[in-house]
Amino acid sequence: MTSDTSASEYWRANVRLLVGILIVWAIVSYVFGILLVDQLNAIHIGGYKLGFWFAQQGSIYTFVILIFFYAWRMGSLDRKFDVHED
């Protein structure tokens, strides 16, 4: 930690990033997978109705991408604020 202001900036950047990710996380599962499932089911991708696909497949793929995206972005934030390990 270089200084208090830099530490709190780092923390704010982290919180901003994770709030953004949580919004996507909630949209693919709760909104696409449950709340709007009937509307999305009007759209077909192959044999999948889109809402059904998000609930049983798409949300899970998105979760995986979100975690790796978070890990990658945090890695750059760590270096930018000089709080990385080693």
Partner 1 sequence: MELQTLTYIVVGATFLLYIGIAIWARAATTGEFYVAGKGVHPVLNGMATGADWMSAASFISMAGLIAFKGYDASVYLMGWTGGYVLLAMLLAPYLRKFGKFTVPEFIGDRYYSQTARIVAVICLIVASITYVIGQMKGVGVAFGRFLEVDFETGVLVGMGIVFVYAVLGGMKGITYTQIAQYVVLILAYTVPAVFISMNLTGNALPQIGLGSTMTGSETYLLDKLDQVVMDLGFSSYTQQSGETLNLVLLTLSLMIGTAGLPHVIIRFFTVPRVKDARSSAGWALVFIALLYTTAPGVGAMARLNLMNTIQTGEIGSPTGNLVYAERPDWFKNWEKTGLLAFEDKNGDGRIQYYNDANKEFSAKAEAWGWKGNEMTKVDRDIMVLANPEIAKLPNWVIALVAAGGLAAALSTAAGLLLAISSAISHDLLKGVFAKGISEKAELMAGRIAMAGAIAVAGYLGMNPPGFAAQVVALAFGLAASSIFPALMMGIFNKRVNRAGAILGMLTGLLSTLIYIFWFKGWFFVPGTAMAANTPDNWFLGIQPESFGAVGALINFVVAILVSKVTAPPPEHIQHLVEDIRVPKGAGSATGH
Residues that bind partner 1 (CB under 8 A): 1, 7, 10-11, 14-15, 18, 21-22, 25, 29-30, 33-35, 37-38, 41, 45-49, 52-53, 55-57, 59-61, 63-64, 66-68, 70-71, 74-75, 78, 82-86
The rounded Cα 20 to chain-centroid distance in angstroms is 7
Residue with tokens 């995986």: 64
Calculate helix-pair angle for 59-80, 4-26, nearest 10 degrees. Answer: 170
Nearest approach, Cβ of residue 65 and partner 1 (Å): 9
- Single-letter amino acid code for the residue at 28: V
Cβ neighbours of residue 73 under 8 Å, at least 6 residues apart? 17
Nearest approach, Cβ of residue 42 and partner 1 (Å): 12
Nearest approach, Cβ of residue 49 and partner 1 (Å): 6
